[in-house]
Amino acid sequence: MKPDAAARDTRWAGVWLSIIFVIATGLLLLLLGPFHLAGGNTNRLTAILAFIGVLVTAAVSLVGLTLTRQSNRRLASESADQDRRLRLDAAMRAGESLTSSTSKPVAPASIASSLLALTKLESPDLAVALLVDSWSPQNKTVTTETAILVVDAALRTSDKPNAQLIAAELLCRNSAELDPCQSLHWPSYIDGCWDYSFGRKTKLLLVDALTLTALAKKPVNEAALRSIAVRLYGIFAGDHDERFKGCVATLIKSLLPALCHLGYTDFIQGNQEVMLEDLKEAAKSARANDDDYLARMVKERSAELCKWAAPCDRSRYRLQPGEIATAATNPIPKAN
């Protein structure tokens, strides 16, 4: 319990006790004064003493409740402090397990379990920082699926923007290894939806990661095209920055010819079901960014996406294992 809270409760207990004492004393002087004593009324005296007893009991109860409240606060504070210490200790042990005291390398399973344990210990920022050395094009100690779970946990930490930025950077670096048709290859937190509170650089990195993931999927297939289109629309619909939305709309616009060629009007990915008309309406917001460099980058990415999507042909595509699940939306979890 904080010292100022304890002192405040003690002061209030003293104030209320003093008020009750003053009232009781005043009533006693008033009712037991010479005038009433002269009357010799025993019943009145008994009633007065009983009333004074009630006041004293109330005062004692009030003090007792205040002390109980102080004790409960102190216990709650001590419990929270102990929980934080245990979590910190567990996080330190999990971090230490990523290194080996011998010359032998740490087993990938041990690294994966340690990273995931850190995300459960409310330390996703530490987990994603350690992931930098374990998930890169040059050194893939952990699987892509494990890395995505860590990235997803970091993106959910709205109070830790640096963790979100590192997660977006890692996703962008490894985008060529991601399969847009696999749910385990993209963070579920932004699968068809979006968090507008991301930092500007984090937003751009995530969009670029999504674009590069698509371009790495060659040859293009129907499932990949659907997935990229709905994810881009989720970003567009979920953000509030009109300049950023203009960039995303430009990317969506580049996919429209191929999407119209598919011959149907509804698309599903993650938690979203998007109609072709929604995508066409979003494309109307396409505009060049005020930042000339960013505008040129978006223009180049759009041209690459358009070229990537153009060869998509439904007749040449064979359904891959598990892809039938992309035709159903995931339930949106209810807020606690």
Please state, in angstroms and rounded to a whole number, the distance separating the CA atoms of residues 189 and 157: 11
Give the phi and the psi of residue 45 in degrees, each rounded to 5: -60, -40
Nearest-5° Cα angle at 107, 106 to 109: 130
DSSP 102: S
For residues 293 and 62, the model is more confident at 293
Distance CA 223, CA 267 (A): 10
Of 228, 214, 200, give the one whose Cα is nearest residue 291: 200
More confident residue, 328 or 72: 72
DSSP-based three-state secondary structure for 125: helix
Per-residue pLDDT of 172-191, as tens digits, reads 999 999 999 888 999 999 99
Domain boundaries, the chain: 3-93, 174-327
Query: Residue 202 and residue 169: Cα distance in Å, rounded?
Result: 8
Mean pLDDT of the chain: 79
Return the exposure string of 130-157: e unless at least 16 CB atoms fall within 10 Å of the residue's CB, then b.
Answer: bbeebbeeeeebbebebbbbbbbbbbbb
**Residue range 241-273, pLDDT digits in tens:** 999 999 999 999 999 999 999 888 888 766 678
* Residue 12 to residue 65: CA distance in whole angstroms: 12
pTM of the entire structure? Answer: 0.70
Instruction: Write out pLDDT tens, residues 52-96.
Output: 666 667 766 776 777 777 777 777 776 666 666 655 555 555 555
Residue 1 confidence (pLDDT): 46
